[in-house]
């Protein structure tokens, strides 16, 4: 056994490997291994089962995840701009500022500080009062204004654009519309990316 390498018993039948009196590995009764410090992976290192790392994992070669990479359900933000600290995907429901959208649906994928969304709505009957139809309920608050592409609309002429501001997607008519009432009952498919926290 190497100099300074010792074993100690823990609670609940856990065992610890120590180097110079410092815990470096914890092995529980089920055989799961927890690294108590940093772990540097070398060529040919193979792992079967669970490995919990309490500090950093330094990999100098290729890291292959055969069953995916799991992020915590609640994001733990990192101040380091080069650290990927979040991944999430799911559904969201577009909400109208005027009446109720018909058959609203949405899907999103968030990777770090970028969120991709897609959505479908059918506009309600809209008054021709100059108030732009809006969609709220975005899965994450945008960091800056932007635009989300309109993939298809059944509106007359199909000329519709959108502007993303705060937590709202604003739909605007282009040439060919007398007023927003012309968008009544129109179907709209949209998708795009935006920066978020």
Q: Tell me which residue of 145, 188, 187 sits closest to 167, measured CA to CA.
A: 145
* 126 found inside a domain: yes
Q: Tell me which residue of 55, 61, 19 sits closest to 34, measured CA to CA.
A: 55
Same domain for 135 and 105? yes
pTM: 0.72
Give the confidence band of 3 by pLDDT, cuts at 50, 70, 90: low
Distance CA 60, CA 108 (A): 33
Question: Going by C-beta distance under 8 Å and a sequence separation of 6 or more, which residues neighbour residue 176?
Answer: 156, 157, 159
Residue pLDDT, tens place only, 131-188: 788 999 999 999 988 889 888 888 876 678 888 888 899 888 776 556 778 788 989 9
Given this model, what pLDDT does residue 93 score?
Answer: 96
Burial (Cβ within 10 Å: 0-12, 13-18, ≥19) of residue 148: buried
Full residue range of the structural domain in which residue 31 is found: 5-68
DSSP 53-79: ESS-EEESS----TT-----SS----S
Same domain for 110 and 170? yes
What percentage of the chain has pLDDT greater than the value 90? 28
What's the structural domain count of the chain?
Answer: 2
Same domain for 131 and 52? no
Instruction: Evaluate whether 24 touches 36 at the Cβ level (below 8 Å).
Output: yes
Element (H, E) at 192: strand 187-195
* 36 found inside a domain: yes
45: its two tokens: 């290192």
* 79 found inside a domain: no
181: its two tokens: 């009432």
Burial (Cβ within 10 Å: 0-12, 13-18, ≥19) of residue 177: middle
* 73 found inside a domain: no
92: its two tokens: 């969201």
Which among 35-44, 61-70, 128-137, 144-153 has the top mean pLDDT?
Answer: 144-153
Same domain for 97 and 188? yes
Give me the mean pLDDT over the 64-76 stretch.
81
* 127 found inside a domain: yes
* 37 found inside a domain: yes
């Amino acid at each position: 056994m190497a100099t300074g390498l010792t074993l100690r018993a823990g609670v609940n039948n856990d065992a610890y490997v120590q180097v110079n009196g410092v815990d470096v590995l914890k092995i529980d009764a089920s055989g799961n291994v927890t690294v108590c410090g940093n772990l540097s992976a070398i060529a040919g290192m193979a792992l079967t089962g669970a490995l919990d790392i309490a500090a950093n994992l330094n990999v100098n070669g290729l890291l292959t995840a055969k069953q995916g990479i799991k992020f915590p359900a609640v994001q733990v933000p990192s101040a380091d701009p080069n650290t990927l600290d979040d991944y999430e995907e799911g559904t969201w429901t577009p909400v109208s500022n005027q009446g109720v959208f018909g058959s609203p649906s949405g899907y999103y994928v968030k990777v770090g500080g970028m969120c991709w969304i897609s959505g479908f709505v059918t506009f309600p009957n809209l008054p021709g009062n100059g108030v732009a139809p809006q969609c709220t309920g975005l899965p994450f608050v945008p960091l800056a204004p932007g635009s989300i592409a309109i993939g298809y609309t059944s509106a007359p002429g199909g000329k519709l654009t959108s502007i993303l501001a705060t937590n709202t997607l604003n739909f605007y008519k282009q040439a060919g519309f007398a007023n927003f009432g012309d968008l009544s009952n129109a179907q709209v498919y949209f998708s795009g990316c935006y920066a978020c926290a």
